Amino acid sequence: MPLDPALADRIAASVAHGFAEQVAHTQALVRFGSTRGAEHAIQDFVLGAFRARGYATERFAIDAAAIAGHPGGARVADGHSEAPIVAGLHRPRGAGGRSLILQAHVDVVPPGPLDLWTHPPFDPVIDGDWLYGRGAADMKAGHAANLFALDALRRIGLQPAAAVTILSVVEEESTGNGALAAHLHGYRADAVLIPEPMDEALVRANTGVLWFTVEVRGRPVHVRAMGAGANAIDATYRVIGALRELEGRWNADRAGRPHFSDVAHPINLNVGRIEGGDWNSSVPAWCRVGCRIALYPGTRAA
């Protein structure tokens, strides 16, 4: 059923009325350096924001055993976040309508070298029409939008006719276990909207992600006799070259795949970390690279 134009205008005006407060809330979220494992404080803040609006709330830990028993679960290894999932629930006045989950994550990737930042990464700075800060786009702006969309309705005396759950999850940047944990905890709805920064497009399908580590062993000798040894770092570059060839084959295989055949490069291999060797004048005996590669839907991680 089409939305009444006059009502649409009222809602849009209410969104605009609350936008300055929404931006300020986004800035407050950005000030939390919520890298992996350090999301406890921001989740406390989110819980308070939900409670201040009168929503029923829940905070719960990721169930590692449930994750391990699910085919979509990623390994709960060292470094996995122990921060909680936070939920806020809007209960409608009566039964009816279709339920909705609005989900966003609070974890952000590390900021990298600080000297590459014009401003400190967790100092949200507005310059013109842009808000700068680690996590401002991915995805604290979307996190705030979920909450303030309901605020905009309340401001003009409206509310959703069905149950709406606002989920604030962790472990999005690494495993996806936060969203899965909420699902396994019992949070279900007729639809889910995740306002990730995707060029203002609706995304119907997405690639999966596989993280993996390659370790290469060499034969250490003094540099004066390097021909008698085996350089693990040199060998690792050849391994990376082979992985790039695999990446090329997988991208060539996009033809005929729904939602991916027209994407120029859906499968991206990223060599994100490299370390190796012990001494500048020793042929390195080891090298380790941490990588990420995309997977088409239906491809098993194995």
| Same domain, residue pair 139 and 59 | yes
Say if 300 falls within a structural domain: no
Q: Write down the catalytic residue from 39, 58, 172, 173.
A: 172
Helix (H, G, I), strand (E, B) or coil at 26: helix
CATH value at residue 104? 3.40.630.10
End residue of a domain, out of 147, 168, 193: 193
Would you call 50 exposed, middle or buried from its count of C-beta atoms within 10 A (0-12, 13-18, 19+)?
buried
pLDDT the model gives residue 94: 83
pLDDT the model gives residue 301: 82
pLDDT the model gives residue 262: 92
| Same domain, residue pair 92 and 215 | no
| Same domain, residue pair 120 and 236 | no
| Same domain, residue pair 189 and 212 | no
pLDDT the model gives residue 169: 98
Phi, psi of 11 (to 5 degrees): -65, -45
| Same domain, residue pair 138 and 182 | yes
Say if 199 falls within a structural domain: no
To the query of whether residue 172 is one of the catalytic residues in this protein, the response is yes
pLDDT the model gives residue 101: 98
| Same domain, residue pair 103 and 166 | yes
pTM: 0.92
Domain containing 270 equals 208-295
To the query of whether residue 215 is one of the catalytic residues in this protein, the response is no
Query: How many domains does one find in the chain?
Result: 2
- Please give the Cα distance from 216 to 237 (Å, whole number): 10
pLDDT the model gives residue 45: 98
Q: Which pairs with CB-CB distance under 8 Å and at least 24 residues apart come from 130-133?
A: 131/23, 131/26, 131/27, 131/30, 133/27, 133/30, 133/31
| Same domain, residue pair 188 and 217 | no
* DSSP class per residue in 138-200: IIIHHHHHHHHHHHHHHHTT---SS-EEEEEE--TTTTSHHHHHHHHHT---SEEE----STT
pLDDT the model gives residue 246: 97
pLDDT the model gives residue 261: 94
| Same domain, residue pair 222 and 116 | no
Mean pLDDT, contiguous 10-residue spans, the chain (302 residues): 90 98 98 98 98 98 97 92 98 89 98 96 97 97 98 96 97 96 98 92 89 96 92 97 98 94 96 96 96 94 83
End residue of a domain, out of 132, 163, 193: 193
Q: Write down the catalytic residue from 58, 63, 107, 173.
A: 107
pLDDT the model gives residue 198: 87
